[in-house]
């Protein structure tokens, strides 16, 4: 830490952590923001950029609705199932080291996707990408929040969220252009420069000086999570096409549900669990994660539905479909940095709840999109509401869930919250065929004609439910102090509040 950085830290303030904490406006702070922004862009591209390529992949590889669903959900299942284990690895080996490892795995997975010869190979490569994403997601945000000074954390999260939107703004347009003028395979190469840049910048980011957790490689918990999510998602994806009474669907769904039910008691009995259930004694933590499942699930499915509707019903090219939601990303880019400041003045509940309701209104507007509608009337207003809503929501949601735990638990807390968002996304995207009324008798275009509006209204309803959870259960101001038993901590995770002071959460 430089002398100027030390001068900005109040002497004797117990909320300020170890000497490794850096200021947002320092060289290390800039490199930290750059690294986490690049890593977030890579995660977005791998998770959702494939949406613009789905029709082209279906035509080129002769893949049906179920196979195309797995191209999207294969990545999401792997990320969601492995996030908690990855969070434990990050808390033991160090956030910086695990972030670099995850970026390398994503690089290899992307290359495998680009050269896949058939749908099975593509799905397998997507799962490999997801394994890398599981390492990147919790370590990236934990590195940001745990390395910055406590006074800079909320604002740093806002800056990170806003700049990360550059990938969401330009990525879909670039991906669509590559599909139209080259091949869908090039979409999977879009992130290669970002990964290499992230690895280069990461060299200048210090590893935070913090207590390390004992290594917890929870094989039973990891297997139950993978089998549980995989089985349930398979059943939801294959059910509409094969029939809900199909033996394979019933078996996969039953095994998946049983594994998920068994996960909690198994984790409670283990001495070093993948998921410490004590975290779920914190009301703020539980409430925000429950809202995250609903809200991020709705966001993922709605983005998938709108892109498909633009291409298959409105006749947009892949480039135009990728550009359709650019206004949403642009508004998010403008609003999100200010949302970090709102957390300091208003707390978490109001900006988060209002933002989710604004997104729900955007979904209602977009549900009316039909062939023959103009972009300016049918899509643009909904996209603007969408961007405004998530701009208000992301920073307070992220700051609130991380402020509820201690620094030593940031990796696991980040992993749990990201797992909640990924589980919501993978389950809701897996439900898309059922919501569209897919019965195996036609393609995605006929299913969209039947059920697009209903599916979008369901996403609006789920968002409204997430807002209700926020207003009812999230604390009005700061999260209450709730120490975790038998796990002593050195530093609390704090965010600034109107008085200009900070308080420990534990």
pLDDT, one tens digit per residue, over 210-235 is 555 556 566 787 788 778 878 887 88
- Give me 212's structure tokens: 């390390």
5 pLDDT band (50/70/90 cuts)?
very low
Nearest to 98 by CA among 310, 411, 330, 331: 411
Query: What distance in Å separates the CA atoms of residue 165 and residue 149, rounded to the nearest whole number?
Result: 24
* Residue pLDDT, tens place only, 258-305: 988 888 788 777 776 666 677 777 877 888 899 999 999 999 899 989
Residue 488: is its pLDDT beyond 60? no
Cβ-based neighbours of 444, under 8 Å, separated by 6 or more? 54, 55, 58, 65, 68, 308, 312, 436, 438
Residue pLDDT, tens place only, 314-357? 989 988 988 888 888 888 878 877 877 777 777 788 899 999 99
User: What does 310-334 look like in DSSP terms, one character per residue?
Assistant: HHHTS---HHHHHHTTHHHHHHHHH
* Whole-structure pTM value: 0.72
Positive or negative torsion for Cα 472, 499, 22, 408: negative
Residue 280 tokens, joined: 């779920």
Residue 6 has pLDDT above 60, yes or no: no
What does the pLDDT read at residue 402? 76
At 142, the pLDDT band (50, 70, 90 cuts) reads confident
In this predicted structure, what is the pLDDT of residue 380? Answer: 95
pLDDT in tens, 410-453: 666 776 787 788 788 888 888 888 888 776 656 677 778 888 99
**Whole-angstrom distance, CA of residue 10 vs CA of residue 4:** 12
Give the model confidence (pLDDT) of 233-266 as tens digits. 788 877 777 777 888 889 988 998 898 888 878 8
Q: Are 293 and 416 in contact (CB under 8 A)?
A: no
Higher local confidence (pLDDT), 475 or 196? 196
* Residue bearing the bigger pLDDT, 392 or 348: 392
419-428: pLDDT as tens digits? 788 788 888 8
More confident residue, 122 or 477: 122
Predicted local confidence at residue 464, as pLDDT: 96
Residue carrying structure tokens 């200009």 = 500
Q: Please indicate whether residue 1 or residue 363 has the higher confidence score (pLDDT).
A: 363
DSSP code at position 51: G
Per DSSP, the three-state class of 270 is coil
| 8 pLDDT above the threshold of 70 | no
Cα–Cα distance measured from residue 413 to residue 484, given in angstroms and rounded to the nearest whole number = 13
Long-range contacts formed by 13-16: CB under 8 A, 24+ apart? 13/502, 14/504, 15/150, 15/491, 15/492, 15/494, 15/502, 15/503, 15/504, 16/149, 16/150, 16/151
């Amino acid at each position: 830490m430089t002398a100027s950085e030390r001068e900005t830290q109040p002497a004797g303030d117990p909320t300020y952590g170890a000497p490794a904490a850096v200021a947002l406006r320092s060289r290390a702070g800039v490199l930290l923001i750059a690294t986490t922004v690049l890593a977030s862009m890579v995660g977005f591209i791998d998770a959702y950029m494939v949406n613009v390529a789905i029709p082209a992949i279906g035509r080129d590889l002769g893949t049906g609705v179920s196979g195309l669903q797995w191209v999207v959900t294969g990545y999401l299942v792997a990320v969601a199932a492995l996030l908690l284990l990855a969070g434990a690895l990050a808390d033991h080996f160090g956030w910086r080291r695990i972030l670099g490892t995850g970026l390398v795995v994503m690089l290899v997975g992307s290359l495998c996707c680009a050269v896949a010869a058939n749908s099975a190979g593509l799905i397998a490569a997507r799962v490999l990408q997801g394994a890398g994403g599981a390492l990147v997601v919790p370590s990236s945000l934990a590195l940001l929040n745990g390395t910055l000074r406590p006074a800079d954390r909320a604002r740093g999260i806002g800056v990170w969220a806003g700049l990360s939107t550059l990938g969401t703004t330009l990525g879909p347009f670039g991906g669509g252009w590559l599909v139209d003028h080259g091949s869908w395979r090039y979409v999977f190469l879009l992130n290669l420069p970002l990964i290499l840049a992230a690895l280069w910048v990461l060299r200048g980011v210090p590893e935070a000086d913090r207590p390390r957790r004992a290594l917890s490689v929870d094989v039973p918990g990891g297997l139950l999570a993978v089998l549980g999510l995989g089985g349930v998602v398979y059943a939801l994806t294959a059910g509409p096409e094969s029939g809900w009474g199909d033996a394979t669907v019933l078996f996969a769904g039953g095994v998946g549900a049983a594994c998920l039910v068994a996960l909690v008691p198994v984790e409670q009995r283990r001495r070093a669990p993948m998921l410490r259930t004590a975290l779920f004694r914190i009301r703020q933590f539980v409430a925000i994660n429950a809202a995250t499942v609903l809200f991020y699930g709705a966001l993922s499915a709605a983005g998938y539905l709108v892109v498909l509707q633009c291409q298959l019903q409105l006749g947009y090219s892949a480039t135009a479909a990728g550009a359709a939601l650019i206004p949403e990303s642009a508004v998010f880019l403008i609003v999100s940095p200010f949302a970090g400041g709102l957390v300091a003045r208003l707390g978490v509940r109001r900006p988060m709840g209002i933002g989710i309701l604004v997104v729900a209104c955007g979904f209602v507007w977009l549900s009316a999109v039909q062939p023959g509608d103009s972009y300016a009337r049918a899509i643009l207003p909904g996209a603007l509401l969408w961007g405004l809503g998530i701009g208000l929501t992301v920073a307070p949601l992220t700051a609130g869930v991380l402020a509820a735990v201690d620094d030593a638990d940031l990796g696991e807390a980040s992993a749990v919250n990201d797992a909640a968002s990924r589980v919501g996304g993978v389950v809701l995207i897996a439900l898309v065929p059922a919501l569209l009324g897919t019965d195996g008798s036609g393609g995605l275009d006929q299913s969209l004609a039947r059920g697009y509006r209903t599916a979008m209204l369901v996403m609006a309803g789920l968002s409204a439910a997430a807002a209700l959870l926020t207003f009812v259960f999230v604390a009005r101001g700061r999260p209450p102090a709730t120490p975790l038993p038998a796990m002593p901590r050195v530093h609390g995770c704090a965010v600034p509040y109107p008085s200009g002071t900070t308080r420990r959460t534990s």
